[in-house]
Amino acid sequence: MILILTGILVKNNSDLIAGYNTLSKEEKEKIDMDKLTQVARKYLVLTGLSVLIVEGILSLLTIDEKTHLYVICGIVIFGVTVLIIQSNRLKPKP
């Protein structure tokens, strides 16, 4: 739920993106915040929804808690890794 909530909030509050606060004004102007917040929102919400769905399925299948933890951590790590890769691919503002 935290990932979904953060994904929704990041669209209107770019300060939630790690490191954005520490950039100088010139560096902030080079970043296309519309695209970056769009990518962040998309992947945070998608990761959060994936966690909820998989958690529900694992609970229905009565899988042990240790496996739940490993699977959920894997989903979050994968989602954050994809988010980082996609955000690094964004071109600077012209």
* CA nearest neighbour of 40 among 71, 73, 3: 3
Residue 19 in any domain: the answer is no
CA–CA separation, 87 and 83 (whole Å): 6
Residue 21 in any domain: the answer is no
How many structural domains are present in the chain? 1
Q: Are 47 and 80 in contact (CB under 8 A)?
A: yes
pLDDT at 50: 95
Q: What is the pTM of this model?
A: 0.80
From first to last of its 94 residues, the chain has per-residue pLDDT tens of 888 888 888 888 877 777 777 888 888 788 888 888 888 889 999 999 999 999 999 999 988 999 999 999 999 999 999 998 998 888 776 6
Residue 7 in any domain: the answer is no
Residue 30 in any domain: the answer is no
Residue 18 in any domain: the answer is no
Residue 52 in any domain: the answer is yes
